[in-house]
Amino acid sequence: MARQRVARSIAWLVALGLLIAGRVAAQDPASPTRDAQVTLLHINDVYEITPIDNAGGLARVATLKRRIAASGQTPLVTLGGDFLSSSVASTVFKGKQMVDGFNAMGLDIATLGNHEFDFGKDVLVQRMAESRFQYVVANVLDESTGKPIGNAAPFTIRTVNGLKMGFFGLCLIGEEVSPDRRRGLRFVPPLDAAADAIRSLKAEGVDIILAVTHLSYEEDRQLALRYPDIGVILGGHEHFPITAVVGGTLITKAGSDAKAVARIDLRKGPTGVDRHFSLMPIGADIPDEPETARVVADYETRLGTALDTVVATSLTPLEGDSRQIRSGETNLGNLVADAMRAYVGADVAIINSGSIRGDRTFAAGQLSRRELLTMQPFGNKVCKLEVSGRTIMEALRSATQSWPASAGRFPQVSGVSFTLDHNRPAGDRVGDVRVGGAAISLDRRYTLATSDYQIGGGDGYTMFANQRTLVGPESADLIVTALEQYLTATKQVSPKVEGRIQIR
C-alpha cells in the first residue's frame, strides 16, 4: 500500500513528543477540501447527550453532519468508545439514552471503551442490539462463542465515492475494567488482535486502514509504530484533544463530550490517501438538529424534577477538573472522601480519583441530587475493611506510581496525609504518612472506607483483596447516598485543600 501522507500542518509539540491541541486552527469553512471523497467526524468519551457549559451536544453534532452532507460532501461519524456510562442519565437509564441519541444523530461506526462494561455484559449486549450503528472491536470476545461481543465485528469495510476504507476496533484491557465486569468475556491484548484485522483488510485491497480505538495515547503510538500500514488512528480514553503523527500514521482524539469534533477529509491521490485534519469546536453557533433534539429533550424530561431537589449549599466552588483531581488534592476529592469515612465510621478513606466525575469546577451555591450524581454516577458502594498500615502504604504507593501524570487511580483521601517527592524514584515517592495526625504504624490495624470497585481490584487496588471485610458490597450503600447524607446533615459546606497531599 502506498504511504498515505498528511496534507495539513498539525498542532504543536509538547512534553514526551505528544501533540496536544487545545484548539487546532480550523480549515477555512469556505474550502474544506471540496474534492474529498469522505469526511470523517470523530468524537470520543461522550458521556452527555446535552451541552456542557454550552459546548458539545449530540443535536449540534447531528447538524454538523447534515450540513456537510448538504454541501455535497459525504460524512461518516466515528466514536472512540466510552459512552454508556458515566453520567446522571446513565445512572438512571443504563446508557439507553446515549444509544438512542446516537441513533438519531446518525453515528456510523463505534468501538467500545472501558465504561461500556460498567453495567455488565448483559446490559452491554442489549444496548448493542438497540444500536443502529456498526460496532468494531477485534479484542473483546464473548467466552461462549469466541467471537466479538454482541453484534460487533472485528473490522468493517466501507466504500464511499470510490474510496475503499477498512475500519477495525480495539479496546483497552487494563485495570480500568475491574474483574467483576469481565465475567463472560475474554480480552485479547489489543496490539496482538490488530494483526489479524490488518491482515484481512490488506487482503481486501482497501485504500486506507483506519483504527477506531479506546487505548491510552502510548498504546496508540505503539500501534502506529508496529503497524505502519494504518493511515489514521481515531482514538479515545484521554479527555483532551490530541493530534500527532507517528511514522506515517495520523493519531487524533477529540477530547470529551463532543465539545469538539476531529474532522479528517480523505481523498485518494496518485501516491496514496491524503488526510486533511482540523479540529472543529461544537458551540452555540451550531443549532440543534430537530430530531436528535427531540430525543434529547424526551430523556431530559424523563429524568424528572426529583434530581433537581437541593440537598445542601457549597460556600466555595468544588474542583472536579479531571486533570486536577487525578494528580493532586482537591476540595471536591476531600468532600467525597470525608463523606465516605463518616458514613461507615472508618479511620481512613481512600477513593480513586477516576470515580469522581463531572470534569469541571462546580460553582458555589446550591447542590442538587443531579450534581451529586454527576460527581458519583457509577453506582459504586461505600465498603469498610480492616487493613494494616502496611496495606495503606502499599495502596498509596501503587495509586501514585504514575504521578505527576494524571491517572484515575490517584487517591483522594480522608483521615490520612502524605507527601509526594519529585526527587524519589517512581513507585517510591510517598513519604511522611500520617493517620489522624500520628505517624502510620505498618503493623497496626486500621479501618478503611473504600469502594466496591477498588475492593474488586479496580484501578490496580489489588492489595485490598482478601482483607477483613466489615461492610461488604452485598450490604453496602451507594457512595452518592453517603455524600447526600453528609451534605444534608451539614446543610452548608466549604471544603478546602488542607495539605492532605503535599508536593515536594
Beta bridge partner(s), residue 438: 435
**Averaged pLDDT, 433-439:** 97
At 341, is the pLDDT very low, low, confident or very high (cuts 50, 70, 90)? Answer: very high
CB atoms within 10 A of CB 301: 9
CA-closest candidate to residue 479, choices 302, 386, 393, 357 = 357
- Cβ–Cβ < 8 Å for 39, 75: yes
Block residue for cell numbers 449549599: 313
* Cα gap 12→244, rounded to integer Å: 9
| Domain 304-503, CATH number (from 3.40.605.10, 3.40.50.300, 1.10.10.10, 3.90.780.10) | 3.90.780.10
Q: Which of 82-96, 145-159, 476-490 has the highest mean pLDDT?
A: 145-159
Helix and strand tally (H, E) in the chain?
Answer: 13, 29
| pLDDT given at position 28 | 46
Range with lowest mean pLDDT among 11-25, 147-161, 409-423: 11-25
Q: What is the pLDDT of residues 216-245, one digit of tens each?
A: 999 999 999 999 999 999 999 998 999 999
CA-closest candidate to residue 450, choices 489, 476, 485 = 476
Whether 5-28+37-301 and 304-503 share one fold: the answer is: no
| pLDDT given at position 427 | 80
| pLDDT given at position 425 | 87
At 33, is the pLDDT very low, low, confident or very high (cuts 50, 70, 90)? Answer: low
Range with lowest mean pLDDT among 14-23, 191-200, 495-504: 14-23
Domain ranges of the chain: 5-28+37-301, 304-503
Q: What is the mean pLDDT of the chain?
A: 91
**Averaged pLDDT, 470-479:** 85
Query: To the nearest 5 percent, what fractions of the chain are helix, strand and coil?
Result: 30, 30, 40
**Averaged pLDDT, 122-136:** 98
| pLDDT given at position 180 | 80
CATH architecture of 5-28+37-301: 4-Layer Sandwich (3.60)
| pLDDT given at position 11 | 33
Beta strand extents in 403-494 (DSSP E only)? 411-414, 416-420, 430-435, 438-439, 445-451, 468-471, 492-493
The answer, yes or no, to whether the previous bond of 404 is cis (omega within 30 of 0) is: yes
**Averaged pLDDT, 285-313:** 93
Q: What is the pLDDT of residues 437-449, one digit of tens each?
A: 999 999 999 999 9
Separation of first and last alpha carbons in the chain: 51
Q: How far is CA 97 from CA 199, 410, 422, in A?
A: 36, 30, 44
* Cα gap 75→68, rounded to integer Å: 7
Beta bridge partner(s), residue 469: 385
> Could you tell me how far CA 53 lies from the centroid of its own chain?
18
Q: Does the pLDDT of residue 181 top 90, yes or no? A: no
Q: Which residues contact 428 (CB under 8 A, 6 or more apart)?
A: 397
H helices within 376-417, ranges in order?
389-399
* Cα gap 266→248, rounded to integer Å: 15
- Cβ–Cβ < 8 Å for 140, 168: no
- Cβ–Cβ < 8 Å for 257, 56: yes
Task: Look at 422 and 18; give whichever has higher pLDDT.
Answer: 422
| pLDDT given at position 421 | 95
Which secondary-structure segment (H or E) carries 223? helix 217-226
At 473, is the pLDDT very low, low, confident or very high (cuts 50, 70, 90)? Answer: confident
At 15, is the pLDDT very low, low, confident or very high (cuts 50, 70, 90)? Answer: very low
**Averaged pLDDT, 261-274:** 95
Task: Look at 145 and 31; give whichever has higher pLDDT.
Answer: 145
Beta bridge partner(s), residue 366: 313
- Cβ–Cβ < 8 Å for 77, 65: yes
Task: Find the farthest-apart pair of alpha carbons in the chain and give their distance in angstroms, rounded.
Answer: 71
Which secondary-structure segment (H or E) carries 366? strand 365-368
